[in-house]
Chain A
């Protein structure tokens, strides 16, 4: 299979039942995408697949053949952190950081489609991303901050 991850083309031989998450972490060494529940419950492995947020643990690697993937490693630009990442830092929305990659990618997708989200929009968009440190209030503030800065 061939997959473009963060702009770089990769070729890989994958198993029929292998997940995109396994491909990213174990074959390509992109460990920013976290492996936690492997059931789609936690959102730690959210990546953008052809610009759509998905749980990488629930996509077969082979299903991503020919597609583009954006992981947290591909979010920051040459100028530094992505505005959403910066907003998470500034709002103190990061505690242990394990859920942060998934939350950042889910937030990037939210703000792409809904530049000025209500709190309900934010809660619904991020409902599938669990933070075991329970820092949800700061996460919501970070999304508000990112939205305000890009307005």
Chain B
């Protein structure tokens, strides 16, 4: 059965009546599973014809991004409000993959390596999910339950990603064998929010789910506050940058797998965390907020 709803209500109805139908947006993950024989769907729920899922808007408070907005569209539309997410979107696959792959599909697949996840975690984004029973909002940090498992109930679909607009520097960094076509060996996202004095982090491919490093974030928040650095914009002491990176690595739970060893991931994550903080802080000192 090939279900192709034309409205959001129709999609939720299809989802409720056919909970075994495999939801598909851009298909860049789902089709891989089908092609290699990991998935044998008798029924598919194609979400690409639901107009509301293709919509997005940005305002002073942040962005609302429909689940079927592609990486290409993210890159074109969100450089100002969500620079970290745009850096991540730009690192996905190749142009043909970015033209098809979507932010909702990335969340739905819930891979620990999904590139959208670290910047969404770092910026404190949330996911709107819906069913015929109603709508609820799930913070991204509560959305991932395990490798490729997320908080969606059997009758729910992702409708929208809501992310606050950046008020300071954001970066996304990623390690892989080449620049393109890389599933992250590990990745890291950092978001500085000078208005609220908040530091946000996100890490990919270093645990069973995308992770945050709250201990590192709080350490840095306390230091920036106590030393008055948000206001003075003076350089960070290298020992602070090093301690931040250590705390980030301490929050990681990597394993050995085909893409890298746990030890390598810890090493690489330390480098990514250090560089990310240095780049963000240099950016902040340069006045670019």
Residue interface bits A33-55, CB-to-B below 8 A is 1, else 0: 00000111101001000001111
Stretch of A59-67, A71-79, A83-91, A143-151 that contacts chain B: A59-67
**Smallest distance from the beta carbon of B111 to chain A beta carbons, Å?**
14
Query: CB of B40 within 8 A of chain A?
Result: yes
Residues of B8-45 contacting chain A, CB below 8 A: 24, 26-28, 31-32, 34-36, 39-44
Query: What are 15 of the A-B contact pairs (CB < 8 Å)?
Result: A16-B1, A40-B32, A40-B96, A46-B96, A53-B96, A54-B96, A54-B100, A58-B26, A60-B27, A62-B4, A63-B24, A63-B48, A125-B95, A127-B95, A128-B97
Residue interface bits A104-126, CB-to-B below 8 A is 1, else 0: 00100100000000000000110
Query: CB of A19 within 8 A of chain B?
Result: yes
Q: Considering the complex of A and B, which 3 residue pairs feature the smallest CB-CB distances, nearest first?
A: A128-B94, A127-B180, A38-B35
Residues in A with CB closer than 8 Å to B207 are none
Docked complex Cα distance between A39 and B101 (Å): 13
Q: Are B95 and A53 in touch, CB under 8 angstroms?
A: yes
Between A14, A62, A127, the greatest number of chain B beta carbons within 10 A of the residue's beta carbon is seen for: A127
Residues in A with CB closer than 8 Å to B28 are 40, 55, 58
Q: Are B27 and A63 in touch, CB under 8 angstroms?
A: yes
Number of A interface residues in the complex (CB < 8 A): 28
Residues in A with CB closer than 8 Å to B96 are 40, 43, 46, 53-55, 106, 128
Number of B interface residues in the complex (CB < 8 A): 30
Q: Are B95 and A60 in touch, CB under 8 angstroms?
A: no
**Smallest distance from the beta carbon of A108 to chain B beta carbons, Å?**
12
**Smallest distance from the beta carbon of B263 to chain A beta carbons, Å?**
27
Docked complex Cα distance between A16 and B41 (Å): 7
Which residues in A have some Cβ–Cβ distance to B below 8 Å?
14, 16-17, 19, 38-41, 43, 46, 52-55, 57-60, 62-63, 65, 106, 109, 124-125, 127-129
Given contacts A16-B1, A17-B39, A63-B46, A54 and B181 within 8 Å (CB-CB): no
Query: CB of B80 within 8 A of chain A?
Result: no
Q: Are B46 and A62 in touch, CB under 8 angstroms?
A: yes
Q: Are B93 and A128 in touch, CB under 8 angstroms?
A: yes
Residues in B with CB closer than 8 Å to A39 are 32, 35-36
Q: Are B32 and A58 in touch, CB under 8 angstroms?
A: yes
A53, A59, A65, A124: the one within 8 Å of B31 (CB): A59
Between A40, A55, A125, the greatest number of chain B beta carbons within 10 A of the residue's beta carbon is seen for: A40
Residues in A with CB closer than 8 Å to B95 are 53, 106, 109, 124-125, 127-128
Residues of B62-120 contacting chain A, CB below 8 A: 93-97, 99-100
Taking A39-B36, A128-B94 as known contacts, 18 extra A-B pairs with beta carbons closer than 8 A to each other, sorted by chain A number, are A19-B31, A40-B28, A40-B93, A40-B97, A43-B96, A58-B31, A58-B32, A58-B100, A60-B31, A63-B27, A124-B95, A124-B180, A127-B95, A127-B179, A128-B93, A128-B95, A128-B97, A128-B180
Q: Are B43 and A16 in touch, CB under 8 angstroms?
A: yes
Docked complex Cα distance between A40 and B33 (Å): 11
